Amino acid sequence: MSIRGLKKKQPKTFKVKVITMDAEMEFSCEMKWKGKDLFDLVCRALGLRETWFFGLQYTIKGMYTWLKMDKKVLDQEIPKEDPVSFRFLAKFYPEKVEEELLQEITQHLFFLQVKKQILDEEIYCSPEATVLLASYAVQAKYGDYDPNFHVPGFLAQEELLPKRVLRQYQMTADMWEEKISAWYAEHRGIARDEAKMNYLKIAQDLEMYGVNYFPIAQNKSDTDLLLGVDAKGIHVYSINNRFSPNKSFEWSGIRNISYSEKELTIKPLDKKAEVFKFFSSQLKVNKLVLQLCIGNHDLFMRRRNVDSIEIQQMKAQARAEKARQKETAELLAEKAQIAEEEAKLLAQNAAEAEQERQRLEITALKTKEEKRLMEQKMRETELIAVKLVKESDRRAKEAEHLKQDLHEAREAERKAKQKLLDVTKLNYLHVARYPPHSPADTRDVSFDKGSVKMDLKDVDLKRLSFEIERERLDYLEKSKKFEDRLKELKSEIHALKLEEKQTGLYSHWNEVLGSLDRSIGNVYNHTYRFYNKNNR
């Protein structure tokens, strides 16, 4: 077989784009595929098993309709475009979302669709309820509220409230965010899928939830009614009131629904009850109403029958998954508590470590200051010691000069006495040899003059000795005071040396004490030499 022959046998395909509530997918469909073939392909791609709630919707001539499962896709009146676009949406709604929506993907798709219907005002919701629903939507998206992360303005780009509610109140976006965040903070600990389910449980109690509305007339001349079809039955509304139906037909009370061209007939189960007939301007509307009635009625009966094996398996899996999630949540909560306690302990240890660091820093600064003060005292002591040594040297030199002067004075005294003796001796010999004939007071005058000279010399010697003794006593007194001061300083340094053994300054203070000992020794030596010199 040729390559051309193989190509001819390959099935022809056409492209389809399917838009879900949060994604877009493209598929290649065979020309012979029925609606169910495409629908099953989409469900497999999504991992969806609760397929009976959903359908493929498209718009033709301004009116939405649903792709029929039992007819070929291309045989239906679909848009002539490439690729052909369909919206994958919930076609039928459950009576109780918590009991019927078993898969997480089913809950997620319903949550997104109902949220959009509320924001687009297809489902009316009071302002208070919209704020509560918005807080659950935020919990479903962001998880637990964290004031460090969810700072003011984090919801600025989020669409959470219907425009009708925003126009109804004189409130800024920041004020709305504050109200939503206050509720959001209360949901701490609620898992994201649980937040979505809470959202749906509130929404399912709204009057317009899950209702498909169609304009009808009770006869050919009137067009002032609305027909609503939902999971519980068929309802008739006034044109301006979609909340409270004028008449309702529960599925359990309907015996038959039929239509003929533009007329649709509802026959109650009670044969005595009045048969309800209404008209629509378009045949397609009647067909759509009939299609929705049949689907909702089938689901109504299905809920009240024994679950199929598939449903039983799905419910068992859902229960097991919830149990697992609960166990996981409890385990995570326990871990979170442990982590929080560990964080507190670490914070406490960090605080204690910081206090110890500050204490050591203060101790180090104190030690540094004490070291600086002691070094300053040491320098002052060394200066004093140097000054005393210089003073001692100066005093020693003065003592040498005084000693020299004393020696010279004594030598002069000795010479003067010798001369006096010599003169006395000569005078005596002269008198003895030559008796005096001069007046008697002549010898006396000469002698008195010599006595006066001798007395003056004695006075100078006494004065000089007195000054030397006074200087010696004064120096000894100053030396004693300095000796006491040095001993006191040595005691202080010795005490500090004992305290500083642990700070690494032990050897430094030994050097300081050695220097002081040498200074004290020098002062002692000078004092001792000066004292000895002046006492010789």
CA distance 172 to 169: 9
The two three-digit tokens of residue 16, written as one number: 């389809």
Give the gyration radius of the chain's Cα atoms: 61
Annotated binding site: 68-71, 287
> Does domain 104-208+501-529 correspond to CATH entry 1.20.1530.20?
no
Query: In this model, does residue 499 exceed pLDDT 70?
Result: no
pLDDT at 429: 64
pLDDT at 474: 73
Fold classification of 13-90 is Ubiquitin-like (UB roll) (3.10.20)
pLDDT at 510: 59
Q: Please state, for a pLDDT cut of 70, what percent of the chain lies above it.
A: 78
Confidence of residue 421 (pLDDT cuts 50, 70, 90): confident
Instruction: Name residues whose C-beta falls within 8 Å of residue 108's C-beta, 6 or more positions apart in sequence.
Output: 193, 196
Output 234 or 483, whichever has higher pLDDT. 234
Taking alpha carbons only, the member of 250, 248, 266 closest to residue 258 is: 266
In this predicted model, what pLDDT tens digit does every residue of 154-189 receive, in sequence order? 999 999 999 999 999 999 999 999 999 999 999 999
Confidence of residue 271 (pLDDT cuts 50, 70, 90): confident
pLDDT at 458: 57
Output 152 or 451, whichever has higher pLDDT. 152
pLDDT at 513: 56
Query: In this model, does residue 436 exceed pLDDT 80?
Result: no
Tell me the pLDDT of the chain averaged across its residues: 82
Output 407 or 451, whichever has higher pLDDT. 407
Q: List, as own/partner pairs, every contact residues 235-242 make where C-beta atoms lie below 8 angstroms and the sequence separation is at least 24, other chains included.
A: 235/211, 236/276, 236/278, 237/213, 239/215, 242/124, 242/207, 242/208, 242/211, 242/213
The two three-digit tokens of residue 138, written as one number: 């935020």
The domain limits of the chain are: 13-90, 104-208+501-529, 212-310
pLDDT at 224: 80
CA distance 318 to 299: 20
Taking alpha carbons only, the member of 36, 47, 43, 119 closest to residue 88 is: 43
pLDDT at 39: 97
Q: Is 87 exposed, middle or buried (0-12, 13-18, 19+ CB in 10 A)?
A: middle
Cis status, amide bond into 11, omega within 30 of 0: no
In this predicted model, what pLDDT tens digit does every residue of 316-348 receive, in sequence order? 988 898 888 888 878 877 887 898 888 888 888
Strand runs labelled E in 337-405 = none
pLDDT at 509: 52
CATH architecture of 212-310: Roll (2.30)
